[in-house]
Chain A
């Protein structure tokens, strides 16, 4: 199957810092999705992107659909302890997922 490369694999940040993570694909996608998984739970959809170049926000989260349609970015501003979890990108409406970015926030 297709592979999504997600980076970084993990990050430790101080509370209040901004966070950036990205996802790249060898293929073109028509949809990019970003999910967050809390410990012991299933992933929950954060943001969905449907158009190249699209920039969408959801509170402190902002995601962008890359112009080439082969990448996407997620930014979290002013991180707080409850941002802890694993963040996944997904293409093609969830058929293909990235390997995840594990975020730890130090209070």
Chain B
């Protein structure tokens, strides 16, 4: 069974702080994704990665960056957190371009 884990379920940060959200998958998946989920807007793709050290912008990359130094780990970085980045953040992974993706439990981030 695929397991995608996220470092925190709940996180509270102050405006201007640098925030790291960590995601690890244990199934040797090639692809990893970061989404944010907001009421009425569904899941919006922030960044994704098809391989180690590779990254692609999704639909809403502004204010975020990512890092994939190892295949199993994909980090989302908020360089300077702002209140409009308060949201649920979901990490996901998939084996390749054909297979469906599997989600982690999510991190609810509040920026005050």
Interface residues of A (CB under 8 A from B): 1, 4, 6, 9, 31, 33, 35, 40-45, 48, 88, 90, 93-100
Contact = CB atoms under 8 A, between A and B. Distances in A.
A100 B103 contact: no
Contacts, number: 58
A84 to B, nearest CB: 16
A42 B33 contact: no
Contacts of B40: 9, 99
Interface in B46-94: 48, 58-59, 90, 92, 94
A95 B45 contact: yes
Interface of B: 4, 33, 35, 40-45, 48, 58-59, 90, 92, 94, 97-106
A41 B42 contact: no
A93 B42 contact: no
A43 B43 contact: yes
A96 B59 CA distance: 9
